[in-house]
Amino acid sequence: MTRLISLVLSSLLLIAPMSSYALFGKDDPAKERKELQEARTAALTKLYQEKPHARSEVQGAKGYAVFSSIGINLFLVATESGGGILRDNNSGKDIYMSMFSAGGGAGMGVKDMSLIFIFHTNAAMEDFQKEGWDFSGKADVSAESGDKGMGAEGAVTVIPGTTIYQLTEAGLALQVTLQGTKFWANEDLN
């Protein structure tokens, strides 16, 4: 058992830096900010193509955040890391943020995804900005697509006042997984 725990912890220590480097492996803050801005534009464009109503939802919100991440699943260990931008629609200010997730689950693979948070209240946005969010211990949340399930079709509300979309290479995901995910302001980029 001790050997298994050591293997899992060693894998986590190896995977976390690799996934972070794969997404934002530069030491140049200006370049990292530019890449995050481009990733935000690409994710929003994809969301608007799949869910045209999301454009007015984002524009009418108090703010929104867009994160891009790379997830790696290696046997029983899964990690995900990336970065994003929180946009305060009230002030027009961008806040650069980081994210990291660790968990377990059988499998192997790499996934590239985007998370889009839409904040409908100032309180939800300010909470996210000041405290970050730690979803550890929360269950996965699923949404149905098409005529089934939630009215927003593919949108999920995990925290009051916030709608979340998850985009993958295949398009809008039917499930938003935030278990074990932490978000925080990136001091190096702000």
Q: Is the pTM of this model over 0.85?
A: no
- What confidence score (pLDDT) does residue 76 get? 77
Domain boundaries of the chain, sorted by first residue: 2-185
- What confidence score (pLDDT) does residue 59 get? 97
Lowest mean pLDDT among 9-13, 88-92, 171-175: 9-13
Phi-psi sector, 85: left (phi>0), alpha (psi -120 to 50), beta:
beta
The Cα-based distances of 12 to 3, 15, 135 in angstroms read 14, 5, 18
CA atoms within 13 A on the CB side of 138: 18
- What confidence score (pLDDT) does residue 139 get? 38
**Distance (Å, whole) CA 87 – CA 38:** 14
Is pLDDT at 2 greater than 80 in this prediction? no
Place of tokens 């997830």: 71
Query: What's the pLDDT tens digit per position in 111-164?
Result: 788 999 999 999 999 988 887 766 654 434 433 334 333 334 456 556 788 998
**Distance (Å, whole) CA 103 – CA 114:** 18
